[in-house]
Amino acid sequence: MKDLRIQGLKKSPWVFHVAAASCNNCDIEILDLITPRFDVERFGIVLVGSPRHADALLVTGVLNRKSLPRVLRVYEQTPKPCLVIGIGSCTCDIHIFKNSYNVVGPYGKHLPVDVFIPGCPPKPEAMILGIVKALSKL
């Protein structure tokens, strides 16, 4: 049963977008993914409205004291196995807010991130490549 689910997940991953504390540029690039130009639905990648329906989380922005518990709650609500894909340099811990008093450290310390996609913001093509890479880890 688990093998069947992983096979289905590879063919059509449903993704939930989590904006931790981003500047919104990464989020706008994620929206580009579902526009007719990139149209990721042709690969079966569907943006869903609830983490309970998702196979993968697309996380943007830095983790700070306020966003951390919310991001962890979303992760807990997502059925496992679930992929976590960090979008943008903020998730890679190379960002302008690094020494800010409110930032609680790198993602790897708090969440099992499968793939990081650097860029400020990364291009939609890079995001598609990152999602495919994450799927190949299953």
Site string for ligand SF4, 44-83 (x = CB under 6 A): ----------------xx----------------------
Unique residue bearing structure tokens 């979008």:
87
Residue showing tokens 């063919």:
11
Taking the least distance from each CB to ligand SF4, the nearer of 9 and 124 is 124
Q: Enumerate residues 80-99 that contact ligand SF4 by CB under 6 A.
A: 88-90, 95
**Residue from 17, 18, 22, 54 binding ligand SF4 (CB under 6 A):** 22
Strand 14-21 to strand 46-47: parallel, antiparallel, or no bridges (unpaired)? Answer: parallel
Residue 11's identity, in one-letter code, is K
Report the SS3 class of residue 46.
strand
Contacts of 53 (CB under 8 A, 6+ apart): 14, 16
Interface residue list for ligand SF4 (CB under 6 A): 22-23, 25-26, 60-61, 88-90, 95, 120-121
